[in-house]
Amino acid sequence: MSLRYILFAFFVCLIWGVNFAVMKIGLQQLDPYLFGLVRFLIVLLILLPWLKIVPGAMLNLFILGNLIGGFQFALVFLGMDLTNHVSAMSVVVQMNVPISLILAHFFLSERMSYWRTSGVIVSFIGVIIITLEPEILEEGIVVLIILAATTFYSIGVILMRKMMAIPVFQTQAWVAFYSVPVFIIMTLIFETDQVSQVMNMDMIGISMVLYTSILSTIVGYGGMNFLLRRYPVTLISPFMVSVPVFATISSVIFLGETLSVKFIIGSLVTLSGLGIIHYRDWQLKRKAKIAAL
């Protein structure tokens, strides 16, 4: 994996990490399902030119759109609205890594090398250190909600690997298209005063919605989709353990959460695990180039 793609993967994780704080701030002005509706309406409008029928793939796009769009984000927004510990929930989201790796092992035949496995284990030791914070134990129902959302995303990752022929923006357009009805139904059933909430948004709320719509969804998910089309799930998924690092830093800066020593140690261990994975991949690539010469 080249350096530019490694840096791009970390950039996507940075966007997603900051997005946890962004969502929490935005949810102070909009109810969770209304927030999701506005987000995906913006995405759909931007990507409307790519909303074209894909013969033979519409059923898969329907399933994907509901998995990583409507169903996943309905749970994510609900969980983020309920939680008082954004950084803790960002750690729980990282369960998508082992879930994705396990699914890729069984359904995509993507085997884990010893080096990559050891790197993932080291990374998760770091995540466990962070997870030992008592905040996660205090919000059991939110943990279950976020875990369910994470499972939906992990299944979607496997499905995306089987749809590599469809352009990234076209996939994102259909995800938004199928997500909008889900959020319309959810907000009409469970929420009220939608029009007044939208009309009373200030510039901070509007900025938060635009960030999560354009950067997190189009750039973030589009970028991850782009990477998954070029590299195995077993190589891309470990990057995701850096998301809670960025999420906690942004939570400290924007939400006033406390940065503990335990978190710092866990973050360093997590990044060390990523270093093991990608240093070994770089070594193998370098040897292959030398052999070719």
pLDDT in tens, 135-169: 666 777 888 898 889 888 888 878 877 777 788 88
What pLDDT is stored for residue 282 in this prediction?
64
What pLDDT is stored for residue 91 in this prediction?
74
Please check whether residue 214 is in contact with residue 42, taking contact to mean a CB–CB distance below 8 angstroms.
yes
What pLDDT is stored for residue 142 in this prediction?
84
Nearest to 163 by CA among 272, 73, 54: 54
Hey, what amino acid is at 168?
V
CA distance 182 to 191: 13
Is the full-model pTM beyond 0.85? no
What pLDDT is stored for residue 233 in this prediction?
66
What pLDDT is stored for residue 292 in this prediction?
65
Angle at which helix 72-82 crosses helix 140-161, to 10 degrees, equals: 150
3-state helix, strand, coil in the chain (%, to 5): 85, 0, 15
- Token readout for 177 is 């298209």
Hey, what amino acid is at 42?
I
Please check whether residue 172 is in contact with residue 221, taking contact to mean a CB–CB distance below 8 angstroms.
yes
CA distance 223 to 203: 27
CA distance 40 to 13: 20
What pLDDT is stored for residue 35 in this prediction?
95
- Token readout for 72 is 């996943």
Domain ranges of the chain: 3-292
CA distance 198 to 192: 12
The count of other CB atoms within 10 Å of the CB of residue 203 is 7
Regions of the chain short of the pLDDT cut 70: 97-98, 101, 108-112, 131, 135-137, 233-234, 237, 277-286, 288-293
Ordered DSSP codes for 12-23: HHHHHHHHHHHH
What pLDDT is stored for residue 202 in this prediction?
94
CA distance 151 to 156: 9
What pLDDT is stored for residue 18 in this prediction?
93
CA distance 127 to 278: 18
CA 32 to chain centre: 17
CA distance 90 to 106: 26
Please check whether residue 36 is in contact with residue 179, taking contact to mean a CB–CB distance below 8 angstroms.
yes
CA distance 49 to 47: 6
Nearest to 158 by CA among 96, 71, 247, 244: 96
